[in-house]
Structure 1
Amino acid sequence: MSTIAIIDDDKALCRSLQIQLEATGHSIHIAYNMTAGLELVSSIPFDLVLLDVNLPDRSGLTALPQLLENSRDINVVIMTGNPDNKAVIESMRNGAYDYLRKPLDLDELFTMIDRVESRKKKTPPTAEEPESGQQPSPDDMIGSHPKIIELLKHIGLLSRNRVTVLIRGESGTGKELTARILHQASSPDKPFVAINCSAVVATLLESELFGYEKGAFTGAEKTKIGKLEFAGEGTVFFDEIGDMPLNLQSKLLRVLQEEEFVRVGGLETIPQKARIIAATHRNLESMVADGDFRQDLFYRLNVSPLYIPPLRERRRDIPLLINRLLVKICAKLQSQPVSVNEHAMAKMIDYDWPGNVRELENVLTRAVALSRDNKILAEDIAWQPQMATGQNPTMANDSTTLAEAEKQHIENALLRHEWNITHTAQKLAISPTTLRKKITDFNIKKAGG
């Protein structure tokens, strides 16, 4: 069993956690402010500290480096009800073991404690001292869904090093935003250089990437540095890496392997110091199988993959996104603040958003432009025809059987309600028992389950 410190000014929460955790054999000690918490941690060898962010005398985030400095073997878990996702990245970067959102999920808490106890049985490697300096605020990723919180945790951990990262997700999910957040968390004072592999002419991509020497080709009247060289110790982001021509894939592979490159028409090798982040919405594994993408390059890029979930898998975040996007859109259009009525909000939450956040922003922009009395109504929300027809492909196919259509309808409802059996059954107007039977009969599997 573990010795656990709870540092939180919410006395009711502290008492509730103490009862729950002591009932399972853990030893619990409580402090209601940061000063008392630091004294407590310095006097007792704790296995785990549950640390609140908003304490009356000091922020838990600013005290985190001091806690870790006093005890290298301690596991600190940040917990807060604050929706600011920047705190997730900052806490993980500065050495937190995990990050929990309030209200706390007890099952999640107990699972995390089990991981800590399992970790105690192993001898941990010596870690480098985390940087305690305050990081500049990165662009914010909006959302409170567990998949987004997990993504932000991974970004915080990856910001400690320079490992190559591959970001995967559907179009419009925010892959470049994710790359910029990682860059801001790791090297904010260095250049961020984005290269859209699908937008640059293939014959020019090599000179754009590596630069060229004077006289390397017709029109090369002077030496020009490429984007890899310009990035220095910053970040080079390859957007839509799946569209990179095969001949250039081999040259990028060599850069990743040798950590150096040569300008077009040059002889001198130039060290490659920038972090490489690549992104794609395509299935690279299938492209490798078809011979359209180099397998060795795929393995080099896929060292630390990040997956961004589509909007339909995190519907609870749609109202948050709508509110934030409306502020941005109204400022851009120089219009008065606009609100969304409940029917329009329900319509947008129920939609599958094949174009994800980008489509949501486009739909809201049109709605703001056409809104009356600064209020968006359900009739102001219009989908693009090609998107609307592509929302439920099985329903649009005349050859679909009734059983296939029913299965697809159930799958869509389960995704829409995040596999909550009770809510899904209510929406389908059937009992939970009937829904479970149909899930078994149709062999419907939860994604990632």
Structure 2
Amino acid sequence: MTRVCLIEDDPIMGEALTQRLQLEGFDVVWQRTGGEGLQYLVKVGSDLAVIDVNLPDLSGIELFECLLREPGGPPPTLFITGYGTIEDAVRVLKLGAADYLTKPFSPTALIDKLRQLADAVPATGETEPPDALGLSSAMRRTAAELARIARHVDTPLLIAGESGVGKEVVARRLHRLQCPQAPFVAVNCAALPETLIEAELFGHERGAFTGAERRRAGVFEQAADGILFLDEIGDMPLPLQSRLLRVVQSRQVTRVGGTEPLEVAARLVCATHRDLAALVREGTFREDLYYRIRVLEIQIPPLRERPEDILWLAERFIAEHGRRFPDERRVLGAADREYLLRHPWPGNTRELQHALERACILGHGQHLALGPPTDASAEAGLKAQAQAGERAAILAALTAQDYKVTATAAQLGISRKTLWQKMKRYRLSRPDRGSR
């Protein structure tokens, strides 16, 4: 059962929501203040949280920011906000909150959003699969498709997506679903020299070519009854594509220099970041092979189109680094989360992983060294420059008005009180006339 922590100070709304959510099958814990809710989420935890922005002791935003500083971070959180606080709620969304509803709202809308979040996280007491693909609807859909695809062990699969998006991760997930005890053999077609790729794929007999001093099994044989993963299939040379087509169609392979065909039991999974249909039109990829390897196809969207997965992946990369290097355990802070969600990640998951590895290595204490190293100094420089400009403007106005506060404030367009405060901050006072 999914546990929901409801933090709401209104007794009528709190009771009504608690009863309705319980009727819908949720395990609801109702906390009436921000402090109580924070203490509960830190000490006990919850699968989901519903937090009112306006609370009597601690605002929902402050509560969420406190949770961001905790090692485990906040659970997937839905905010309830009234008119006039939507801007604050949007600001929290940028820090990683799941969504928000404005009052008055339909209980059905709240339940629908909670069910969407519940589908993405395991209920309390359950363990999230170590090979889960993500929180986004696209990756949950991919996981569901893989469960069906795993039943059809002879059908080729094509995985498409930008570089670094996680195509091999998806292929390995299929392997764990389909045949975890069998081999998983991965080959990057773009990384092999054209002179060796044929022997690498199909194997060779002794003496088949210069340097072939003994028989060698190709990757089709090595994969046995497991999975052969051919990455960057779009970079395979055109002459070799015809031979691969024959293997896929006949389910047999003949070693280079050999005559006896060998049965192929492995499932073929191909991946590419290129537009194979465009390559077919250009004549650089065989049309018959294209249709043969994409009987089943999975398209993985880039990371920028599934922001729900960014923080989810980041937490896992940081946790994995902490397990490997216990003295470098870092925590994802509020500023880190905002940076991660703002960055476009053109290199996708691979870029995110490398950025976090660097941030963990160069960080101090629990803090990550995330983002351009000059960000903080640049921000401090801009602030100092703005303050210097403001001080100069006030000093010029005071001099022009012979330090008459009322006249100077009118010239600057500010109140007398504000001018006094700024004069005190910048240590501006009428000079001693005797020193002139």
TM range, smaller chain = 0.5 to 0.7
1:181–1:138 Cα change, 3 Å: farther
Q: What is the rounded CA distance, in whole Å, between the counterparts of 2:133 and 2:318 in structure 1?
A: 13
1:15 is matched with 23
CA contact (8 A) 2:318 2:330 kept: yes
Q: Deviations over 1:43-88 (max 9, x none)?
A: xxxxxxxxxxx9xxxxxxxxxxxxxxxxxxxxxxxxxxx99xxxxx
Q: Deviations over 1:124-174 (max 9, x none)?
A: xxxxxxxxxxxxx97513421111110000000001111110001111111
Q: What is the rounded CA distance, in whole Å, between the counterparts of 2:242 and 2:256 in structure 1?
A: 15
CA contact (8 A) 2:160 2:167 kept: yes
SS in 2 for 1:305: strand
1:340 to 314, 317, 332: 332
Could you tell me the TM-score, scaled by structure 2's length?
0.57
Q: What is the rounded CA distance, in whole Å, between the counterparts of 1:104 and 1:310 in structure 2?
A: 29
CA contact (8 A) 1:193 1:227 kept: yes
**1:280 to 2:272 alignment:** yes
1:155 to 146, 163, 186: 146
1:263–1:318 Cα change, 3 Å: same
Q: Deviations over 1:258-291 (max 9, x none)?
A: 1111111111011111100000011111111111
Deviation at residue 331 of structure 1 after TM alignment: 3.5
Q: What is the rounded CA distance, in whole Å, between the counterparts of 1:177 and 1:9 in structure 2?
A: 30
**Which residue type is aligned with residue 192 of structure 2?**
V
Deviation at residue 12 of structure 1 after TM alignment: 5.5
Q: What is the rounded CA distance, in whole Å, between the counterparts of 2:111 and 2:149 in structure 1?
A: 25
CA contact (8 A) 1:215 1:222 kept: yes
**1:141 to 2:144 alignment:** no
Deviation at residue 374 of structure 1 after TM alignment: 2.2
SS in 1 for 2:185: strand
SS in 1 for 2:336: helix
Deviation at residue 364 of structure 1 after TM alignment: 1.0
**Which residue type is aligned with residue 250 of structure 2?**
E
Deviation at residue 13 of structure 1 after TM alignment: 4.9
**Which residue type is aligned with residue 248 of structure 1?**
L
**Which residue type is aligned with residue 320 of structure 1?**
W
Q: What is the rounded CA distance, in whole Å, between the counterparts of 1:262 and 1:226 in structure 2?
A: 10
Q: Deviations over 1:397-418 (max 9, x none)?
A: xxxxxxxxxxxxxxxxxxxxxx
Q: What is the rounded CA distance, in whole Å, between the counterparts of 1:336 and 1:364 in structure 2?
A: 12
2:372 is matched with 382
**Which residue type is aligned with residue 298 of structure 1?**
Y
1:238 is matched with 230
Q: Deviations over 1:27-50 (max 9, x none)?
A: xxxxxxxxxxxxxxxxxxxxxxxx
CA RMSD of aligned residues (A): 3.0
**1:298 to 2:299 alignment:** no
Q: What is the rounded CA distance, in whole Å, between the counterparts of 2:268 and 2:111 in structure 1?
A: 36
1:176 to 168, 186, 189: 168
1:267 is matched with 259
Q: What is the rounded CA distance, in whole Å, between the counterparts of 1:239 and 1:363 in structure 2?
A: 24
Number of residue-to-residue matches in the alignment: 268
2:88 is matched with none
1:153–1:215 Cα change, 3 Å: same
Deviation at residue 8 of structure 1 after TM alignment: 9.6
SS in 1 for 2:230: strand
SS in 2 for 1:238: strand
Q: Deviations over 1:221-279 (max 9, x none)?
A: 22211110121111100011011111111110011111111111111011111100000
1:358–1:376 Cα change, 3 Å: same
1:235–1:308 Cα change, 3 Å: same
Q: What is the rounded CA distance, in whole Å, between the counterparts of 2:235 and 2:273 in structure 1?
A: 10
CA contact (8 A) 2:133 2:143 kept: no
Could you tell me the TM-score, scaled by structure 1's length?
0.55
1:176–1:375 Cα change, 3 Å: same
1:356 to 319, 337, 348: 348
2:181 is matched with 189
**Which residue type is aligned with residue 276 of structure 1?**
L
SS in 1 for 2:327: coil
1:213 to 195, 201, 205: 205
CA contact (8 A) 1:164 1:304 kept: yes
2:317 to 304, 314, 325: 325
Deviation at residue 366 of structure 1 after TM alignment: 1.5
Deviation at residue 9 of structure 1 after TM alignment: 11
Q: How does 1:79-158 map to 2 (within 5 A)?
A: 105=112, 140-158=131-149
1:345–1:251 Cα change, 3 Å: same
Q: What is the rounded CA distance, in whole Å, between the counterparts of 1:104 and 1:175 in structure 2?
A: 33
**Which residue type is aligned with residue 364 of structure 2?**
R
Q: What is the rounded CA distance, in whole Å, between the counterparts of 2:129 and 2:290 in structure 1?
A: 28
Q: Deviations over 1:170-227 (max 9, x none)?
A: 1111100100110110011111111110111111111111111122112222221111
CA contact (8 A) 1:166 1:301 kept: yes
Higher relative contact order (CA 8 A, sep 6+): 2
1:261–1:146 Cα change, 3 Å: same
**Which residue type is aligned with residue 371 of structure 2?**
I
1:178–1:167 Cα change, 3 Å: same
Q: What is the rounded CA distance, in whole Å, between the counterparts of 2:215 and 2:114 in structure 1?
A: 61
Unaligned runs of 5+ in 2: 5-18, 26-46, 48-74, 77-109, 117-127, 374-436
Identity of aligned residues (%): 40
